Amino acid sequence: MLGVEPTRSSVSNAALKRGAEIYPVPANAPVQISVIPWPNHVTVASRRPLPAGFAPQARSSEGEAAAKGFAALVDHLFAVEGIVRSEAEGAVPVILKDAAGFGPEAYRLSFDEDTLTVEASGRTGFLYGLVTLGQIWRGARLHPGVFQFPASGEIVDEPAMGWRGLHLDVARQFYGVAEVKKLLAVLAWNKLNRFHWHLSDDEAWRVEIDAYPALTEIGAWRGHGLAVPPLLGSSPTRTGGYYTKSVIREIVAHAKSFGIEIVPEIDMPGHCYAMQQAIPELRDPAEKGSYYSVQGFPDNCINPAREQTYEIVETILAELIELFPFKVIHLGADEVPLGAWSGSPAALARLRDVAGEAVADAHAKRLNVVTNRHGADDIHGSGAAILQAEFLERVQRFLASKGCITGGWEEAAHGDVIDKEKSYLCSWRNVEVSAELAERGYQMVVCPGQVYYLDMALRPDWDEPGASWAGNSDAEKLYKFDPLSGWTAAQKQKLLGIQACIWSEPMTDRAVFDRLVFPRISGLAETGWTKPSAKSWDRFKALAGLMPLLYGLQES
C-alpha cells in the first residue's frame, strides 16, 4: 500500500510568513514631524519640550463630542501612553475653537509656546486635528532624536477625497465585537471614514433579523453535518457567530464617534448559499438541475422571478435600515453565475415575458453546464444578467422609497437599470472599468483587486500568505498606484473615492491579517487624503512604522 503525504514544492516548502512587515524609523527622516496621511499645508518650526499629554478643552457640543471620541480612540490604541490626561497629571490644554469656513473634515492645528489650538467647523474636523496632534506627539516621544514637537507654526488640512474606506468580509471568517471596534479605531487613526461591512455571503450570514431567526440559527454556523459545511479552515465542530442588533447599534455609535459611517452589505442575488439554507423559499421549488458559482457553491442565487423573494428581501432590508442610520445599503450583485436560474420554470417564464423566447431558450440550455472554469462569469447580455437587472431595479426602488442610497459591485451596472442618482458602484476589476462606468454616469468608489484587495499576497513568493488571482501588491506598489490613471476631467466628477477590500479567505491566522493589511491600509489612507503632488514614498516609509496594527503581530 502506498503512503500518503502532503504535496510538496520542488522550490520551497517554507512555512507561510506571519506578522506585519514593519519599516523601521530611520535615524534621519525626511520630515521633522510624524503624520500619516500627510497634511495639505505644513509650516511648523523649532522644538519645544514634549508635553506629558493633552487635555482638550471644547467650547461647543461638537468639540465636546470630538474630545470624547479622541479619548476613546487613544484608549483603544495606546491606553498606557497617556496621550489624553488631566492638567493635574501635567497635560497641556488644547483649545477646540469653532470656526466658520471649514469643510466637515477640515481643520487648522496651531502651535505656539503657550497654546495649542484646533479650529474646525464640526466634530470630525476637531477629531482629525487631535489625531494629527497625537501622531506628532507619539513620533517625538518614541523617536526623540528623529522627530520634534513644534513650538510654532500651523497645519491646515483637508482630504482630497470624500470616501476613504475599508471593506471587511466577516462571512468567510468571523470577527468578534472587540476586533471590529479596534479595527474602527485603527481606521480613525488613519483618517479613513467609511467601513463597508460585508455581512453575508455563501459561507455565512452574520446579522440578526427578527423576522427570520433561521438566518442566524442556521446561516451563522458551520460544521460537519450542518447546513453550511466546514470551510476555509473552520473546524468540523460547530463554529461561527453573528452580530445581535444591540451590538450593531453599539458598533455604529462607536464608529460615528470616530468619524466613520458604516455601510452594511447583504450580497444578493448571488452569494446567497447560507441565506438559502435558512430560507428555502428563496429558491423556486420546481427548479431542477444545478449551476455553480465561481467558488463552487451550488444554486446560490435567490430567485428574482418569485414574488415571495421580494417579500423576504424587503422585510430583511427594512430591519437593516433601522440599524444603519447612514442609509447607504450595499446590495452586492457580484459574480452571479452565467447559468443561474437556468433550471427554474418561474425564471424562464419571466425571461420569455421580458426578453422573448430565444433568450429564454438559450438560457435553459445552460442547465448543468459548468460555465466558470476560468474565473467569474461575464454575464453581460445573458438571461442571468436580465433577471438580475430586474431584481436590482426593484430592490433599489424599495431602498430609495426608504430614503436610502444603494451600493453595488460593478456588476450591478448590467442593464443600466438602477437609478444613478440614488446609487454608487464599487469597481473591482481595474481602473479602466471604473472610468468606463463613470463615463456612463455612475458614482464610483475605486477598489481594483490588483492593488486594493488586501487579501492578495504581498509578493509571489511561495511562503507569502494570501491569494494571487488578481496578482500581488506590496505597500510600495499600493502607495504609488494612481487610482485615477487615464480618467478624464468629466469622469473625475463622478468619483466618490477609494476603498481597500479585505476578503477573509486567507485570514485563518490573525498574524496573517496583520501581515496583509498593514502598512498597506495606511498607504491607501494617504492616497485618499493627500494631494498626489504632496505624496512621497520615502517619507511614508519613514513614518509607517509608527502606525498601529490590529493585533500587534509583527514579522519575527
Q: Which residues are catalytic?
A: 335
User: CA triplet 314, 318, 323: central angle to 5 degrees?
Assistant: 145
Which residues face 261 on adjacent strands? 194
The SS3 assignment for 493 reads coil
Grid cell digits, residue 86: 488631566
What is the number of alpha carbons within 13 Å of residue 78 lying toward its C-beta? 22
DSSP 440-482: TT--EEE--HHHHBTTB-SSS-TT--SB-TT----HHHHHH--
Q: What is the distance between the alpha carbons of residues 436 and 440, in angstroms, rounded to a whole number? A: 6
CB 212 within 8 A of CB 241: no
Could you tell me the CA-to-CA distances from 345 to 341, 342, 401 in Å, in that order?
8, 8, 31
CA pair distance 504, 92, nearest whole angstrom: 43
The C-alpha angle with vertex 368 and arms to 363 and 370, in degrees rounded to 5, equals: 90
φ, ψ (nearest 5 deg) of residue 122: -165, 180
Angle at CA 199, nearest 5°, toward 175 and 279? 120
Written as nine digits, the cell of 450 is 490588483
Can you list the alpha helix ranges (DSSP code H) found in 345-382? 345-355, 357-364
Torsion of CA 541, 542, 545, 546, to 10 degrees: -130
Say which residues have a Cβ less than 8 Å from residue 395's Cβ, sequence separation at least 6.
268, 310, 313, 314, 317, 331, 406
Look-up of cell digits 506590496: 474
Contact 50, 141 (CB under 8 A): yes
Reduce the DSSP state of residue 413 to 3 states and report it. helix
